[in-house]
Amino acid sequence: MPPKKLVYFGSPSFSAWILESIITLPPVQVAGVVTQPDRPTGRKQILSPSPVAQTAQKHSLPLFKPAKLDNAHLSHIRLLKPDIFLVASYGKIIPPDWLETPTVGTFNIHFSLLPKYRGALCISEAIKNQDPETGVTLMEMDKQLDHGPIIAQKKVVITFDDDIASLTTKLTQAAIQLLDNKLPEICAQKYTATPQDETKATYTPKTSSLTHQSAHIPWNTLWQAMEGTNATAVHALIRSLSPEPGAWTNTAGKEIKILKSSLEGAKLEIVQVQLQGKSPISWKQFTSGYNV
């Protein structure tokens, strides 16, 4: 059986890792890649392609960066004669006409155990809410947000040390394993999909709600956690904001970013901080130089 033609939709680094993993999978041929337009990045705001675009260019894959998913761009995608669309953190709502284009279907990798945590902030919410586990869901896509029938899920344990970066890495590895197992079934159209239980659906806040200002933790809250009040919850909150936008507070007349914390028994311990425009230092170094 010839490989199925797959068009991949994604943008950030972890999505690029997933794309890299499926390029060599025998049942599919990556016929094209759709990603976000180039955006200004870094301190100098240099216009740069997304990580997924960079991976596509490295492998000389047909690459599309539409500002809008309209019929004009869809006509170009249709020339690829796609069998499968696979979406992994693309960053735009995919219109119905696009969803219905592939002959086999449109599928999505989502980093939560749906129907829990529909939406973009699924990783940070799982950490903040002190969930013992989360996972990856492979699903059919429909017109509603993270709503389609579930094909398979893989659970991932959340440790007391996990932040967004480390948990994203674990979830990406789980997603790669899940696709390795399930893409052959999808290509052969021998998979089953189960509707989600709407009574258990929860939604994350919008991405726009995660800002520098919203990442502020009052010093009094941190001090009380260091004395043993709500330490676990505060530690979870700090990890759910790391590495970006980064939890921060004001103390000793300074704004400091809290890079790392830990739990010592029932008390919060601040491990590493950063002053604006300075290199990271230990909490011990900070308190030896400033009167907290």
Query: Does 235 share its domain with 257?
Result: yes
Distance CA 68, CA 76 (A): 13
Neighbours of 218 (CB within 10 A): 11
Domain harbouring 103, CATH code: 3.40.50.170
Q: Do residues 273 and 259 make contact, with C-beta atoms less than 8 angstroms apart? A: yes
| Exposed / middle / buried, residue 122 (Cβ in 10 Å: 0-12, 13-18, 19+) | buried
Q: Does the pLDDT at position 15 exceed 90?
A: yes
Beta-sheet strand order (sheet of 150-157): 63-64, 28-34, 4-10, 84-88, 105-110, 133-140, 150-157
Domain that holds residue 61: 4-200
Mean pLDDT of 180-200: 97
Give the CATH number of the domain where residue 222 resides. 3.10.25.10
On whether residue 141 sits in a domain, the answer given is: yes
- Answer yes or no: do 86 and 167 share one domain: yes
Inside any domain, residue 265: yes
pLDDT given at position 292 = 80
Query: pLDDT grade, residue 108 (50/70/90)?
Result: very high
In this predicted structure, the answer to whether residue 177 has a pLDDT above a threshold of 80 is yes
Task: Kindly report the average pLDDT of the chain as a whole number.
Answer: 96
What is the mean predicted confidence (pLDDT) over 75-94? 96
Give the C-alpha separation, 231 to 264, whole Å. Answer: 9
If asked whether residues 157 and 58 sit together in one domain, one would say yes
- For residue 249, report the phi and psi dihedrals to the nearest 5 degrees: -150, 175
pLDDT at 248: 98
Residue with tokens 């994604």: 10
What confidence score (pLDDT) does residue 290 get? Answer: 86
Q: Is the pLDDT of residue 172 over 90?
A: yes
Considering the domain architecture, whether residues 244 and 218 belong to the same structural domain is answered as yes
- Give the pLDDT confidence score for residue 42 in this predicted structure: 77
129 with 232, same domain: the answer is no
Could you say which of 175, 200, 225 is where a domain stops? 200
pLDDT score recorded for residue 73: 96
42 and 152 share a domain? yes
pLDDT of residue 1 exceeding 80, the answer is no
263 and 140 in one domain? no
What is the model's pLDDT at position 149?
Answer: 98
Q: Is residue 17 part of a domain?
A: yes
User: What is the tens place of the pLDDT at every residue in 110-133?
Assistant: 999 999 999 999 999 999 999 999
- pLDDT the model gives residue 44: 81
Decide if 31 contacts 2 (C-beta within 8 A). Answer: no
Segment among 44-48, 209-213, 249-253 with least mean pLDDT: 44-48
pLDDT per residue as tens digits for the range 269-290: 999 999 988 999 999 999 998 8
Say if residue 43's pLDDT is above 80.
no
Q: Does the structure show a pLDDT above 90 at 45?
A: no
Domain presence at residue 147: yes
Report the candidate in 54, 50, 58, 8 with the shortest Cα–Cα distance to residue 29: 8
30 & 132 share domain? yes
Same domain, 47 and 154: yes
Looking at the structure of the chain, the number of domains it has is 2
Is the same domain home to 173 and 219?
Answer: no
Please tell me whether the peptide bond between 115 and the residue prior to it is cis, using omega within 30 degrees of 0. Answer: yes
In 44-202 the beta strands, taken as DSSP E runs, fall at 46-48, 63-64, 84-88, 105-110, 133-140, 150-157
